[in-house]
Structure 1
Amino acid sequence: MLFVRDKGRMCNNILQYGHVYAWGREHGRKTMSMRFAYKYPYFHICNTAWHNFFTYVFAKYGAKAGLLPVISFHEEDVDITARETQLNAKRFAVVEGWYARWYDLFLKYKDEILALFAFHQNIENHAQQVMASSKGMVRLGMHIRRGDYQRWYGGRFFYSDEQYIEVIRRFCSLFSDQQIAVYICGNDPQLNREHYQQQLPACQLFFPDGNPGEDLCVLSHCDYLIGAPSTFSLVASMYHDAPLYWIEEIDKCFTLQDFGHFDDLFQHIY
């Protein structure tokens, strides 16, 4: 059994576990996610074997006491072959670190990973209710990331309201003959929603105000996704292969050809 742990946010944990799960499937090893044993109760995986608080405590304190070996993937240039040798040599181990990555295996077992992270029905029902009034419109999911982005990567992807508003305008110009519904999710509790409404009168704006699972589900059902580079928008795109545009150059006049897809983008995470 491989116990997978990390300290990142929800969608970082989904991707990290997906990689280790895929490696385990390929090599006949069982895996469990310590994070989804207790913290994010929105997904099917939370109700599968071994995903419970008791197993989480066993793995956490087993590693702390030195009873379980810890195999780390913290360095970007980690020797994957050497770590695989360690994984194969240990019947039980805790696996941690952001750079545990097996892209080809992830894609091979992607359908199984999606099934594990299928949303609970109440989460899907919430998304359907939120999106009911935009039926027939082009639905844009806009992920606004603030908070830690003021410092992460030197603040490169920390954008102002005016910059996000201009990006939405550019997107709408690509569908000048259609009605646009924009679902705005993010981690900024002080977002000036009235200002967005005033500046984007041609759009139908929605602020779902859900928990992380609900917001992720809403974004996953959008026709297009835009946001600063983030695993949140990336994982949202994974569910239904929604085209995703990461705002890397804030002044770029992008086109639909600039939108990417999960199978490529997840191999180029910042």
Structure 2
Amino acid sequence: MIFVHDKGRMANNILQYGHFYAWGREHGRQTMSMRFAYKYPYFHICRTSHHNFLTYAFAKYAAKWGLIPTLHFDEKDGDYRAHEQQMLARNLLMVTGWEARWYDAFLKYKQEIITLFAFNDAVEQQVKPLLGDGIRLGIHIRRGDYARFYGGRFFYSDEQYVNVILNFVKLHANERITVYICGNDPKLNRDYYREQLGDCQVVFPDGNPGEDLCLLSHCHYLIGAPSTFTLVASMYHETPLYWIENPVKEFTSQDFKHFDDLFRHIY
């Protein structure tokens, strides 16, 4: 059994475990996600074998006390062939780190990964009443830690997000658009968005992280600062995603990309 000690937040954890899961499937090794054994109860994986608190506690303390080894994947583009040999040879071990990347294997088993991270019925039922007619545009506003991430490069103002949304609206003139705005800024100026986007229906779902991710996965288009949250949301239904790297750029429909390309270019 390979115990995956996930790092970062929920969407990071899904991608990190997805890579290890795919590697395990390719090599006949069973894997278990530490984080989805207890922290994020929104997904099917949380009800699968070994994903429970007892297994989590066993692995955590076995690694802490040195009873099983821990392999670290912390170096970008590192040579991890020796790590892989240990993953093949040892019955029990812990793996950790963000830099484990097996892109081709991930794509090969992507549908299985999506099934593992299918949303529980309770989450889907919370989201379903919010899904309206017309074009559903999902917006993810990332603040908080993005004031420091890449030196604040992707920390955008409300005015910048609105301008990006209005750019999208121009690309879909005469079509009904519902804008779903999710994010991690509790002080977001909601009235400003409603005033500036008067021709659109604007919805602030106020869901938990699982519900927000589920809602975004049901949108027809996604826009946000470069983030694994929108990336994972796009994975479920091949949703076109536009990462805002230049908030004043006049983008076109061709600037929207898909998961299979973007997940190879995470910041």
TM interval, shorter chain, is over 0.9
Distance (whole Å) between structure 2 residues aligned to residue 62 and residue 82 of structure 1: 22
Counterpart position of 1:108: 108
Q: Which runs of 5+ in 2 are unaligned?
A: none
* 1:156 aligned onto 2:153: yes
**Alignment counterpart, residue 255 of structure 1, candidates 252, 256, 259:** 252
* 1:83 aligned onto 2:80: no
Structure 1 runs (4+) deviating above 4 angstroms are: none
Aligned amino acid, residue 24 of structure 2: G
Distance (whole Å) between structure 2 residues aligned to residue 195 and residue 177 of structure 1: 23
Q: Which runs of 5+ in 1 are unaligned?
A: none
Distance (whole Å) between structure 2 residues aligned to residue 121 and residue 84 of structure 1: 36
Superimposed CA distance per residue, residues 38-69 of structure 1 (whole angstroms, 9 cap, x where no aligned partner): 00000000000000001111111110100010
**5 Å matches for 1:89-168?**
89-131=89-131, 134-135=132-133, 137-168=134-165
Distance (whole Å) between structure 2 residues aligned to residue 79 and residue 192 of structure 1: 46
Conserved 8 A contact 2:239-2:258? yes
**5 Å matches for 1:35-74?**
35-74=35-74
Counterpart position of 2:228: 231
> Pairwise CA RMSD of aligned residues?
0.7
Distance (whole Å) between structure 2 residues aligned to residue 151 and residue 212 of structure 1: 21
Over the matched positions of the two proteins, sequence identity in percent amounts to 67
Counterpart secondary structure, 2:123: helix
Superimposed CA distance per residue, residues 207-239 of structure 1 (whole angstroms, 9 cap, x where no aligned partner): 000000000000000000000000000000000
Aligned amino acid, residue 167 of structure 1: V
Counterpart secondary structure, 1:143: strand
- Identify the range of structure 1 (185-194 vs 82-91) with the bigger mean alpha-carbon deviation: 82-91
Distance (whole Å) between structure 2 residues aligned to residue 86 and residue 75 of structure 1: 17
After TM superposition, the score normalised by the length of structure 1 is 0.98
After TM superposition, the score normalised by the length of structure 2 is 0.99
Distance (whole Å) between structure 2 residues aligned to residue 77 and residue 223 of structure 1: 34
- Tell me the CA shift for residue 6 of structure 1: 2.3
- Tell me the CA shift for residue 91 of structure 1: 1.1
